[in-house]
Amino acid sequence: MGPRYLIDSNIIIDYSAGVLPSHASDFCEQIFNSNFIISTVVKIEVLGYNHIPDKLVLMTEFINSATVLPLNEDVVQQTILLRRKYRKIKLGDAIIAATAIIHKLTLVTRNTVDFENIKGLSFINPWNNL
């Protein structure tokens, strides 16, 4: 079994807007066509994104096809540790990183700057890491 991925909000938004480079779009389509995984925070961020009202039904169907990992006690405790250690990390990013760490998933994100110093977190930027 190959790597398993946790998809970040910016990847879903970029993909739905058609702005991913073709190699990144192909990579993401492979993930989306299998069992793609998101965190609860990503569901909230994507469906709460103000630029998708005309796509809300399609986006809701798309998100509902994902495995949505809940905010359980292990993720909460890991988030607390990350927030204590990395003071500048935003709460949403800390929850996403904690979810990836707890579930041993590689985070797929364009937002690597906010995650690059987190020990134990594996991530890939499909814009330039393929």
Q: Is residue 129 part of a domain?
A: no
Q: Is residue 78 part of a domain?
A: yes
Q: Is residue 25 part of a domain?
A: yes
- Tell me what pLDDT residue 83 has: 96
- Tell me what pLDDT residue 51 has: 67
Q: What are phi and psi of 4, to 5 degrees?
A: -110, 145
pLDDT tens digits for range 39-81: 999 999 999 876 666 778 888 999 999 999 999 999 999 999 9
Domain span holding position 45: 5-124
Q: Is residue 51 part of a domain?
A: yes
Give 8's contacts (C-beta < 8 A, 6+ positions apart).
42, 96, 107, 108, 109, 110, 111
pLDDT tens digits for range 14-32: 998 899 999 999 999 999 9
As a dihedral over the C-alpha atoms of residue 32, residue 20, residue 119, residue 43, rounded to 10 degrees, the angle is: -50
Q: How many domains does the chain have?
A: 1
pTM of the entire predicted model: 0.92
Q: Is residue 90 part of a domain?
A: yes
CATH number, domain of 62, equals 3.40.50.1010
